[in-house]
Amino acid sequence: FIDAPLATVESRDPKGLYKKAREGKIKGFTGIDAPYERPENAEVHVRTDLLSVRQSVNKILEKLDEEGIHLQRKFRPIDEEEPGSCPSR
């Protein structure tokens, strides 16, 4: 379950869909005028407003490891401001 507060999700919206939904230009938009139902028993809960991309990926990989699904740990590098930082804050 990838999670972030609605304000954070809206601030990350490159297409401006949340803005359009708030203006009434898009109807039935989840979290705006349509309900959002959080998973009751998510196996993994990743708060992307609190974790960096790298931390979020590692949290998911750790859960997969626990379940016996072992994936490679080497991925293409990403730019992050500093270890442990979250650019959305």
pLDDT digits (tens, 9 = 90+) for 17-38: 999 999 999 999 998 999 889 9
Kind plus residue range of the DSSP H or E element containing 46: strand 46-47
Dihedral over Cα of 75, 79, 84, 89: its sign: negative
3-class DSSP assignment, residue 8: helix
Average pLDDT over residues 4-20: 94
| Span 33-88, pLDDT tens digits | 998 899 999 999 999 999 998 899 989 999 999 989 888 777 666 666 555 555 55
What is this structure's pTM?
0.67
